[in-house]
């Protein structure tokens, strides 16, 4: 199937659509390196921003299945640093479903530009999850733990720190051994922007004043944390979905819980967004957005339809996703 009519001429990234485990469309667009005119390819690795939260959630759920942790474990019983005004009785469950009220270093309800974080605190200092502590540790709780759902980046930074405290491994090392490698995701990892491996796309931001693009190397964490920042390929994302839905990462019971609404709004499970359909069932997605980065992937189990879109120029993958899916889903007669 051809989706050209939906794709903007300036789109840069990769589009991949599979149905019934077979690829029906896959194509790369634009440049991985704009200055040198190096094209994006199907196996180019792209930054994915907050999409990495789903990998952290799977790792935490796996630790719960191993009984090294529980949904009701308190962060104050696990972490060995002074939480100050942060409630030590925040639970793992509340971090996973964004109801913890923990102070958010990037509160998306009040902040628009992630790059603004680095005005006074250099982004090159962020090379592990604990490096983000100065950005939130001295702040007050947003609201009492468990009070309501509010998307929260700090919550997943803390989940990354909990993985490290429980396992003795850096969170990204643990993900590599227990999520990426079992899925065969050999082109996925948390890379430092000043030490990127081969086949990684630069991410670009447009300067309206200068009328030119520049890279986002001073606008995002130099290395991803529990809140996000993994690099991956469309093919690796598809491998992740396949292994997740085939119960190769989590048990059938735990996956069901992950994909069941865990908040009153019915929009979120554990580390994954839920999209209610007309028949009362759900499709699932995870996504990410940073300066110069946009990512969206969705799986509709009833249609066995998997759509993955990623852009290294911050293109509107959300509208593109809606157009692509609407063209594929035929309403019941």
Q: What pLDDT, in 10s, does the model give residues 77-94? A: 999 999 999 999 999 999
Q: Are 288 and 50 in contact (CB under 8 A)?
A: yes
Query: Smallest Cα–Cα separation from 115: which of 300, 311, 289, 303?
Result: 289
- Alpha-carbon distance of 30 to 12, in angstroms, equals 4
- Supply the pLDDT for residue 256: 98
- Supply the pLDDT for residue 333: 39
The full set of domains in the chain, from first to last, is: 4-328 (3.40.710.10)
Name the burial class of residue 223, with classes exposed (0-12), middle (13-18) and buried (19+) by CB atoms within 10 angstroms of its CB. buried
- Supply the pLDDT for residue 223: 98
Mean predicted lDDT score pLDDT of the chain? 95
Q: Are 7 and 29 in contact (CB under 8 A)?
A: yes
Give the pLDDT mean for 178-185.
Answer: 98
Helix (H) or strand (E) holding 239: helix 234-245
- Alpha-carbon distance of 196 to 142, in angstroms, equals 36
Q: Is the pLDDT of residue 45 over 90?
A: yes
Q: What pLDDT, in 10s, does the model give residues 220-265? A: 999 999 999 999 999 999 999 999 999 999 999 999 999 999 999 9
Band of residue 330 on the pLDDT scale cut at 50, 70, 90 = low
Band of residue 1 on the pLDDT scale cut at 50, 70, 90 = low
Q: What pLDDT, in 10s, does the model give residues 255-288? A: 999 999 999 999 999 999 999 998 889 999 999 9
- Alpha-carbon distance of 131 to 229, in angstroms, equals 14
Q: What pLDDT, in 10s, does the model give residues 293-308? A: 999 999 999 999 999 9
Structure tokens at 112: 């628009």
Q: What pLDDT, in 10s, does the model give residues 128-177? A: 999 999 999 999 999 999 999 999 999 999 999 999 999 999 999 999 99
- Supply the pLDDT for residue 26: 95
* Percentage of the residues of the chain whose pLDDT score is greater than 90: 91
Region of poorest pLDDT, from 105-119, 195-209, 297-311: 105-119
Give the pLDDT mean for 208-214.
Answer: 96
Query: Smallest Cα–Cα separation from 142: which of 96, 109, 119, 97?
Result: 109
- Supply the pLDDT for residue 331: 54
Give the pLDDT mean for 6-15.
Answer: 94
- Supply the pLDDT for residue 110: 79
Structure tokens at 28: 């790369």
């Amino acid at each position: 199937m051809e989706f050209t009519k939906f794709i903007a001429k300036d789109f840069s990234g990769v589009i991949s659509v599979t149905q019934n485990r077979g690829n029906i469309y896959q194509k790369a667009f634009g440049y991985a390196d704009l200055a040198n005119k190096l094209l994006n390819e199907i196996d180019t690795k792209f930054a994915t921003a907050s999409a990495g939260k789903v990998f952290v959630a799977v790792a935490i759920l796996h630790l719960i299945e191993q009984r090294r942790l529980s949904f009701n474990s308190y962060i104050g019983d696990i972490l060995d640093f002074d939480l100050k005004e942060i409630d030590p009785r925040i639970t793992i469950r509340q971090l996973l479903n964004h109801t913890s009220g923990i102070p958010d270093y990037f509160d998306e309800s009040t902040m628009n530009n992630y790059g603004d974080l680095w005005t006074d605190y250099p982004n090159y200092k962020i090379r592990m999850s604990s490096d983000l502590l100065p950005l939130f540790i001295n702040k007050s709780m947003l609201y009492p733990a468990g009070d309501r759902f509010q998307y929260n980046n700090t919550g997943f930074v803390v989940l990354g720190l909990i993985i490290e405290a429980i396992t003795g491994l850096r969170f990204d090392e643990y993900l590599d051994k227990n999520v990426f490698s079992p899925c065969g995701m050999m082109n996925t990892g948390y890379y430092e922007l000043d030490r990127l491996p081969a086949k990684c796309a630069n991410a670009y931001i447009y300067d309206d004043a200068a009328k030119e693009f520049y890279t986002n190397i001073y606008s995002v964490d130099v290395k991803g944390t529990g809140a996000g920042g993994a690099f991956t390929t469309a093919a690796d994302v598809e491998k992740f979905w396949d292994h997740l839905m085939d119960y190769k990462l989590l048990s059938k019971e735990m996956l069901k819980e992950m994909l069941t609404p865990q908040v009153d709004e019915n929009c979120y499970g554990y580390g994954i967004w839920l999209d209610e359909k007309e028949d009362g069932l759900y499709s699932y997605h995870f996504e990410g957005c940073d300066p110069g980065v946009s990512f969206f992937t969705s799986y509709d189990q009833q249609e066995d339809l998997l759509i993955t879109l990623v852009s290294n120029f911050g293109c509107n993958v959300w509208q593109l996703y809606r157009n692509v899916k609407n063209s594929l889903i035929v309403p019941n007669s």
